[in-house]
Amino acid sequence: MVPGMSASIQQAGERLVVIDTETTGIAAADRVVAFAGIELVDGRATGRAMSLVFNPGRPCHWAARRAHGLSDDYLALQPGFAAHAAEIRGFLRGAVLVGHNVGFDIRMLNGEFRLAALEGLDGQPAICTVALCRRHYPGEKAGLDLALQRIGLGRSTAVHGAFEDAALTAALYQHLRHGAAEAVVPLLPPTNEVAMPARRRRPAPVSA
């Protein structure tokens, strides 16, 4: 199945991974700065998940930075994608990939896998929740925030975190495919994160 196309039939016991990426932008040369994946079997979260953040080696476009809230200074401290590429590829191997506009996530991940000399995701089955929304709500806008509002869910802040978006997309998929969404899985912070150093306070001036 072509990545980004909606699968029509789900098999019992089928393994899915709901994915989301944050990036430096949307051009071909842009890089992934955050990745999240949540495993579902029979539409339910199994507890297996990934949440990672990366140094892209280039500055983020201002619009991307405004969307995901990750500063260039923060990202410069993180490991590169290549340090986790094999781990991510192994997690995704054999799964049906689910995402909101999943074709974009697949394209960006393919670019990173290519740089890491790993096989891409072309030919791997994928389900796009944008397509599912348009099928369920003909003529309605299919953006993630609007789709979530229809089922009574929303993000905790205006920032698009990869793991929160993957968790919300998983709940949306459950609603669209199974008629009811389970509780959104607990947020998982990036497990490879290098924290920003604490800023030192300047000493108070000594009065004469």
Per-position pLDDT tens, the chain of length 208? 334 444 444 566 789 999 999 999 999 999 999 999 999 998 899 999 999 999 999 999 999 999 999 999 999 999 999 999 999 999 999 999 999 999 999 999 999 999 999 999 999 999 999 999 999 989 888 899 889 888 888 777 766 799 999 999 999 999 998 887 776 788 999 999 999 887 766 666 665 5
Catalytic residue among 68, 84, 100, 160: 160
* pLDDT recorded at residue 154: 77
* pLDDT recorded at residue 43: 86
Q: Domain for residue 185, yes or no?
A: no
Q: Domain for residue 10, yes or no?
A: no
- Catalytic residue status for 160: yes
C-alpha 104/C-alpha 109 separation (Å) is 9
Q: Domain for residue 29, yes or no?
A: yes
Amino acid type, 69: G
Task: Give the domain extent around 50.
Answer: 15-178
The token pair that represents 132 in the structure block:
């599912």
Q: Exposed, middle or buried by CB within 10 Å (0-12, 13-18, 19+), for 207?
A: exposed
Q: Domain for residue 47, yes or no?
A: yes
* pLDDT recorded at residue 4: 41
- Work out the number of other CB atoms within 10 angstroms of the CB of residue 60: 22
* pLDDT recorded at residue 6: 42
| Cβ-contact 178, 14 below 8 angstroms | no
Domain count, the chain: 1
The token pair that represents 192 in the structure block:
């490879």
Q: Domain for residue 3, yes or no?
A: no
Q: Domain for residue 192, yes or no?
A: no
- CA-to-CA dists, residue 104 to 20, 81, 156, 163, 207, angstroms: 9, 17, 23, 16, 59
- CA-to-CA dists, residue 90 to 17, 57, 125, angstroms: 12, 24, 15
pTM, two decimals, is 0.88
**DSSP 8-state code for residue 82:** G
Q: Domain for residue 191, yes or no?
A: no
| Cβ-contact 64, 22 below 8 angstroms | yes
- CA-to-CA dists, residue 194 to 73, 74, 78, 86, 153, angstroms: 11, 8, 6, 20, 30
* pLDDT recorded at residue 158: 65
Q: Domain for residue 193, yes or no?
A: no
CATH number at residue 37: 3.30.420.10
